[in-house]
Amino acid sequence: MSPLVPLGLVLAALGLWLGLRLLRESRRRVADRAGYFADVKPLFDGGETRLQPTGFPRMTGTRRDLSFDLQALPDTLSFRKLPALWVLVTLPEPMPLRATLDLMARPSGNEPFTRFATLPQSLPAPPGLPATVAIRTDDADRAPLANLITAHADLFDDPQVKELVLSPKGLRIVILAEEADRGRFLIFREAEMGRIPLSPARLAPILDRLVALREVILKDQA
């Protein structure tokens, strides 16, 4: 028997093994992404989850009789140092505000989750706000009061907090949930994220902060 025959069988078996391994890994990756919000569901009274084209979920739920919306948004644009996974935490409740105020930490102008760069007016930062945070609005004369910003400036003490939006349509905080592993990305250009579900301990303070902001705004506008 030709020695090439056993070698061919070995190569075929190796190829089959690799193919099956890649298939299992792909299925595991899909399942992990789909379950990214699984651990935070107990924070809400009921809710609904649906998958987005990215494979990550979008979840709506009720907490303290208020509706919340969660989005996981991967950002793999090449100009970033590392691919990132952003989580948008939104309280889509109508607010008694007459303008939108957007606070962005370290803005680049290329964030895929915001309209910060399109807001026409820039505002000076009030005392207490980190120098890395920029403020824009669509109407400086009607923007929320500076004392409201100052009262919640400590939100940006968390380096993973990227954005705070106050608008007539609701409130939003955006956090950096994860970055791709530097070594694997630089060597293999692999940008795998979302394998570990979002932690309730990470999300709960963000939800509570949005509730607190809402209460302050309602009180100020009463």
Model confidence at 44, pLDDT cuts 50, 70, 90, reads very high
Contacts of 91 (CB under 8 A, 6+ apart): 66, 67, 68, 69, 170, 171, 172, 210, 211, 214
Q: Is residue 13 part of a domain?
A: no
Q: Is residue 194 part of a domain?
A: yes
- Per-residue model confidence (pLDDT) at position 185: 46
For the segment 147-164, the average pLDDT, to the nearest whole number, is 89
In terms of residue numbers, what domain contains 47?
35-221
In this model, does residue 126 exceed pLDDT 60? yes
Q: Is residue 10 part of a domain?
A: no
Q: Is residue 70 part of a domain?
A: yes
Q: Is residue 15 part of a domain?
A: no
Q: State the pTM of this model.
A: 0.81
Higher confidence at residue 168 or residue 192?
A: 168
Q: Is residue 20 part of a domain?
A: no
Q: Distance (Å, rounded) from C-alpha 148 to C-alpha 70?
A: 24
DSSP β-bridge partners for residue 66:
63
Measure CA 75 to chain center: 10
Helix/strand/coil for 60: strand
Helix/strand/coil for 162: strand
Which of these ranges, 17-21, 89-93, 115-119, 170-174, has the smallest mean pLDDT? 17-21
Number of domains into which the chain is organized: 1
Mean pLDDT across the chain: 82
For the segment 113-128, the average pLDDT, to the nearest whole number, is 91
Q: Is residue 3 part of a domain?
A: no
Q: Is residue 45 part of a domain?
A: yes
- Per-residue model confidence (pLDDT) at position 1: 47
